[in-house]
Structure 1
C-alpha cells in the first residue's frame, strides 16, 4: 500500500489571523511548500454523519479573488459530485446556479 502525505503550514500574526498558508505533498513533483491565499478543507465523519471543515484565508486576500475562489470551488464541487454519483441533472442545476453566482458577484469569465 502506498501512503501520501499532505502538509499544511499556517503562519499566524499576533492576533492568530493567517498571514501565510503553505502546502506541500509527498506526491508532488515540486518538493518545496507552495504559498496559497485561501483553503477549504472538508472531511466526512462517518460516525457522526457530518462534515468537518477548516476554511482559512490570508488577511491580504482581495475580495474579488475570494469571490472567484468561491465560484471556482462551487464549479469543481459539481465536477466531483458528477464523478462520485453520476447525477447529471442536479449538476446542471448547480452549473446554472454558478452562472447566477458569477453574474451577481460580477465575476469575469476567463
Structure 2
C-alpha cells in the first residue's frame, strides 16, 4: 500500500502567534517547502462523530485575503460535497451563501473605504 505525507511547519513568535507557515508533500514536484499565510485543517472523528479542526493564519494575512480565502474554501467545500453526495440543491445553497458572504464583505470594505477617505 502506498503512503503519502503532508508536513506543515508553523513558526511562532514570542506571543505564540504564527509568523510563518510552510508545507511540503511527499508526492509534490516542488523542491522546497511552500509558503502559506493561512491554513484550515478539518478531520472527521468517526468514533466521536465530531469534526476536529485547526485554523491558523500569520500576521501577514490581510483581511481582504482572509475573506477571499474563506470564499474560495466555501466554494471548494461545496464542490467536495457535490462529488460525495450529488445533492445539487444543497450544493447550490452552499455556493449561493459563499457568493453572498463575499459580496457582503466587499460592500463592507467599500463603506469603510468611503469613511476613511471621506468620499
Q: Place the TM-score, normalised by the shorter chain, in its bin.
A: over 0.9
Q: TM-score, normalised by structure 1?
A: 0.94
1:74-93 pair list within 5 angstroms: 74-93=74-93
Show the counterpart of 1:27. 27
Superposed CA deviations along residues 82-107 of structure 1, whole A, max 9, x for unmatched, are: 01111111101111111111110118
Structure 2 residue 80 is the aligned partner of structure 1 residue 68: no
The unaligned stretches of length 5 or more in structure 1 are none
Preserved contact between residue 38 and residue 57 of structure 1 (Cα < 8 Å)? yes
Higher helix share: 2
Which 4+ residue blocks in structure 1 deviate beyond 4 angstroms? none
The two structures, once aligned, show a CA RMSD in angstroms of 1.0
Structure 2 residue 59 is the aligned partner of structure 1 residue 95: no
Alpha-carbon deviation of 1:31?
A: 2.6
Q: How many residues are matched? A: 107
